[in-house]
Amino acid sequence: MELSANAKINLTLDILRRREDGYHDLQMVMQSVTLADALTLTPAQGEEGCAASNLHFLPTGGKNLTQMAAAAFRAAAGAGGEVDVSIQKHIPVCAGLAGGSADAAAVLRAMNALTGAGLSLARLAEIGARVGSDVPFCVLGGAALAEGRGERLTPLPGLPLCHIVICKPPFSVSTPQLFSRVNVRKIVRRPDTAGVIAALNAGDLTGVARRMYNVFEDVLDRRRYGEIASIKAALIDCGALGASMSGSGPSVFGLFPRLEDAQAAQERLLGSYRDVFLCAPAEKNV
Ligand code: ATP
């Protein structure tokens, strides 16, 4: 079975409070995009399934998120056998684009179809929450408000037709380190989450773009902050209505009403960066 696994971007990312259990309560507006990995699922050749990909450093056994998803599905649905997963990664890894979660979500949906288990997307999302906090959103796709650790989802209308340029600079950001740097009481700048939701409901691309923000941008160290800021400035300079960092970074995206401007932005950023993608909002899964 051939599958496509869509990446996501964060139109907003806000941290509301630190919880007693050490996790943070988040509020994020997420949108899936057409940048996607291509997966092929086949019955396992050996006793246990494995995951092969074009990236040598990804785990190939039970630690690959696709195998974790397959195991979670078997345990919850009481159906399905071991599967081999072949992954053509196009979504950069550790980029704030939920690439691994997208692959896991695609496997959950595929196993549901292959076994005829007939679980609802909501149930698959529940199962996915055991694999990773972005998996439930990736099961649903489209756009949604994600709360809690990201598992409480409220579907939203997706972005109106637009072009999205995503640029991943060549450094990684440690998510636990970012969380440890956030002092919730001292967050100065926050996204206008309610305003973004209202703009999505109204189909107002400019309204969304003007209100986007990611609170993690403010806790990056000076060098990384500078690089993120300069990518955002380049996107805006080329005609993006707004630009923001996605998830825990370091990917930055811009929203463009005009394809030619998005193409020009991609070309300009490709002068300095290898991972620059031109894509569009993706529809919700059915
Ligand atoms: P998020 O936006 O959800 O925080 P991310 O984009 O920062 O995700 P991922 O690309 O999803 O990060 O991968 C994070 C980790 O998961 C990596 O350390 C990687 O080795 C591991 N991993 C396991 N399986 C996969 C997979 N199928 N694809 C990508 N990464 C995987």
All residues at 6 or more sequence positions from 105 whose CB lies less than 8 Å from its CB, including other chains? 5, 69, 124, 128, 135, 138, 139
- Distance, CA 83 to ligand 1 centroid (Å)? 20
The pLDDT score that the predictor gives to residue 55 is 96
* 235: pLDDT strictly greater than 90: yes
pLDDT digits (tens, 9 = 90+) for 12-36: 999 999 888 888 999 999 999 999 9
* 186: pLDDT strictly greater than 90: no
The pLDDT score that the predictor gives to residue 165 is 98
Confidence of residue 157 (pLDDT cuts 50, 70, 90): very high
Confidence of residue 213 (pLDDT cuts 50, 70, 90): very high
* Rounded average pLDDT over 53-60: 95
87 CB within 6 A, ligand 1? yes
The pLDDT score that the predictor gives to residue 188 is 87
Confidence of residue 99 (pLDDT cuts 50, 70, 90): very high
38 CB within 6 A, ligand 1? no
The pLDDT score that the predictor gives to residue 151 is 86
- Distance, CA 58 to ligand 1 centroid (Å)? 9
The pLDDT score that the predictor gives to residue 183 is 87
The pLDDT score that the predictor gives to residue 203 is 98
| Catalytic, out of 14, 84, 103, 134 | 134
Going by alpha carbons, the residue nearest to atom 1 of ligand 1 is 98
Mean pLDDT score of the chain, rounded to an integer? 96
pLDDT digits (tens, 9 = 90+) for 237-258: 999 999 999 999 999 999 999 9
What is the C-alpha separation between 72 and 38, in angstroms, rounded? 21
Tokens of 166: 């995503």
* 192: pLDDT strictly greater than 90: yes
* Rounded average pLDDT over 264-280: 98
Going by alpha carbons, the residue nearest to atom 5 of ligand 1 is 94
Torsions phi, psi for 256 (to 5 deg): -120, 130
Confidence of residue 206 (pLDDT cuts 50, 70, 90): very high
What is the C-alpha separation between 248 and 225, in angstroms, rounded? 12
Going by alpha carbons, the residue nearest to atom 12 of ligand 1 is 94
The pLDDT score that the predictor gives to residue 22 is 84
- Distance, CA 97 to ligand 1 centroid (Å)? 9
Tokens of 170: 């060549």
CA distances from 103 to 89, 124, 152, 282 (A): 9, 14, 20, 15
The pLDDT score that the predictor gives to residue 268 is 98
The pLDDT score that the predictor gives to residue 129 is 95
* Rounded average pLDDT over 76-101: 96
pLDDT digits (tens, 9 = 90+) for 116-151: 999 999 999 999 999 999 999 999 999 999 999 888
% of the chain exceeding 70 in pLDDT: 100
All residues at 6 or more sequence positions from 180 whose CB lies less than 8 Å from its CB, including other chains? none
182 CB within 6 A, ligand 1? no
The pLDDT score that the predictor gives to residue 139 is 97
| Catalytic, out of 8, 37, 232, 261 | 8
Is 237 considered catalytic here? no
